Chains A and B, each alone.
Chain A
Amino acid sequence: MDSSALVINNLTKTYSNGLKALHGINLEIPHGDFFALLGPNGAGKSTTIGIITSLIKKTSGDIKIYGIDIDKDFVKAKTYIGLVPQEINFNTFEPISEIITNQAGYYGVTREVALPEAEKLLKKLNLWDKRDQYSRNLSGGMQRRLMVARALIHKPKLLILDEPTAGADVEVRRLMWDYLKFLNENGTTIILTTHYLEEAEHLCKNIAIIDDGKILENSSMKNFLSQLKNEKFILYTQEKVSKNLTLESRNLNIIDDHTIEVSISEDSDINSLIQDLSIKGIKVKSLKNKTSRLEELFMRLVDKNGK
């Protein structure tokens, strides 16, 4: 078995209207990775996923799934992939259990084998009680979970999720996160695109940022986040804070009587700030990042590319 789940070499895509969506991107995703493919709208994420899953025809370049070239043996290559697309795309007039077992059939899994597997998946994703219902009767969150179940019925080694939690409430999102982590820990390689950057930061080990059809960054999440030289925090204080409060060598922004915004550089730390405030008689009740670290870096990178 190849140690790379996915290798993309010099992939380009020009649509029939002349739009160049991909300008020769390269990516290598190791087996077992939880990989974030991030980018603004129209960056080329969905085009890349569409080409990997053969919904979109590439203009040039090579793609290998677990060492199998999709141009040479697409049948075998595709058996390794499961896709959770961005848009709801099942037959809303079919019962849920039919949607799952039909998908299994398209991958060569017989109904006899698929039925017990579907039961396990639907139970895991809290959909078993709904198995005989038409999918049009499901809530948005349930439909999202159904798409995950459908993508997993043939036990893919590589699961690709294109904004799987878009529009899902917090509870559904948490349930999905837990399940995706469970899958990844049990050997499924996962590629995730999402607009919720805290989702990527929370789940993913490696990251690529794509914009305008080019890969701007491709590294481990840890290395990428370490590029952040300054982090902005919001501190909520026990005591009332004076508008004239100052701390030596710190740039404070007093938002209201009990809220302070402060920037912490990489050579400083939050403990010393809390000590400094304590000396001034101010206790910190709680604190949070102003924006997620990933969001901060993402915006910088994309803005820079825009310029």
Chain B
Amino acid sequence: MGSNLNIQAVAYKTIVRKEVLRFSRIWKQTLIPPVITNILYFIIFGNLIGDRIGEIESFSYTDFIFPGLLLMSVITHSYTNTVSSLYISKYHRYIEELLVSPIQNYTILAGFITGGVIRGLSVGVVVILAAQFFVTFTVHNIFLMLVVIFLSSTLFSMCGFLNGLFANDWDDINVIPTFIMTPLTYLGGIFFSISMLPGIWQEIALINPILYLINALRFSMLGITDVSIMIAFSIILLFNIVLASLCLYFLNIGKGLRT
């Protein structure tokens, strides 16, 4: 033991190690399914249906949907990792190991979020590797691509963390993915450009925050976007700040953790 900073640094590394080991031990459940799902997307939507749709802004349909599919895999798994890890630790009460120790709330949050990000990025890597057989992998701006993937992953890890704090039973951890995340992701322009939507639906689509994530990533990879990159990037940053603040606030008041 030692100074507070030293304690927090060791504790952070411990949480991250534990989180990574947790999802690595069950790699058949955590890393393989997104590869299979994405291969199915490439075959069905890309090759079979995509051939009939033709090119979008001079990219094949498979290439056009790939950034969205990649992002969907990353954010889904970032979210799932934190929500399941936090909720299971609450359910089996081993979250108390953290709560009784001298770990600051920001360290707990950082540890869980890093775990979610590492899982999200690991899934991203395996999806990119699998995609090599189906898409022409292009990068317009590698720095922007990495930043967008990273910030999207942190954003959804924090969403999962909040969900985990508020969850009181197993059903609660599925409510947000089922009723909010999945619809918003599918309506966020993975499979289409909003210019393909009729009239008012183009305006409505702009309310969806996931649209900005998908377009920011699509721009970083293909150089095309439906929205301003500055606005998209600002929204991603803003949501990250708001969610980090909310997570810390609820941790500080002990929501779902301390009675």
Q: Which of A115-134 contact B (CB under 8 A)?
A: none
Contact indicator B102/A78 (Cβ below 8 Å): yes
How far, in whole Å, are A83 and B7 apart by their CA atoms in the complex?
Answer: 18
Contact indicator B1/A102 (Cβ below 8 Å): no
How far, in whole Å, are A145 and B150 apart by their CA atoms in the complex?
Answer: 42
Interface size on B, residues (CB 8 A): 32
Residue in chain A with minimal CB distance to B8: A108
> Chain A's interface: helix, strand, loop or mixed, by majority?
loop
- Across chains A and B, the number of contacting residue pairs, with CB separation under 8 Å, is 91
Contact (A108, B2) CB under 8 Å given A75-B102, A81-B100, A103-B97 = yes
Q: Give the one of B10, B25, B89 with max A CB within 10 A.
A: B10
Residue in chain B with minimal CB distance to A92: B92
Q: Is the CB of A90 closer than 8 A to any CB of chain B? A: yes
Interface code A79-99, partner B: CB below 8 Å = 1, 0 otherwise?
101010101011111100010
Interface code B1-36, partner A: CB below 8 Å = 1, 0 otherwise?
110101111110111011001000100000000000
Q: Is the CB of A74 closer than 8 A to any CB of chain B? A: yes
Residue in chain A with minimal CB distance to B101: A106
Contact indicator A89/B10 (Cβ below 8 Å): no
How far, in whole Å, are A89 and B14 apart by their CA atoms in the complex?
Answer: 18
Contact indicator B96/A15 (Cβ below 8 Å): no
Contact (A107, B99) CB under 8 Å given A54-B258, A56-B259 = no
Contact (A107, B259) CB under 8 Å given A53-B100, A55-B99, A78-B100 = no
Residue in chain B with minimal CB distance to A106: B101
Q: Is the CB of B103 closer than 8 A to any CB of chain A? A: yes
How far, in whole Å, are A36 and B249 apart by their CA atoms in the complex?
Answer: 37
How far, in whole Å, are A53 and B101 apart by their CA atoms in the complex?
Answer: 8
Residue in chain B with minimal CB distance to A83: B100
Give chain A residues whose Cβ lies under 8 Å from the Cβ of B104. 75
Q: What 5 new A-B contacts, CB under 8 Å, besides A55-B258, A102-B14, A105-B11? A: A16-B259, A92-B92, A102-B17, A108-B6, A108-B102
- B interface residues (Cβ-Cβ under 8 A, vs A): 1-2, 4, 6-11, 13-15, 17-18, 21, 25, 89, 92-94, 96-104, 254, 258-259
Q: Which A-B residue pairs are the 3 nearest by beta carbons?
A: A105-B14, A108-B7, A106-B101
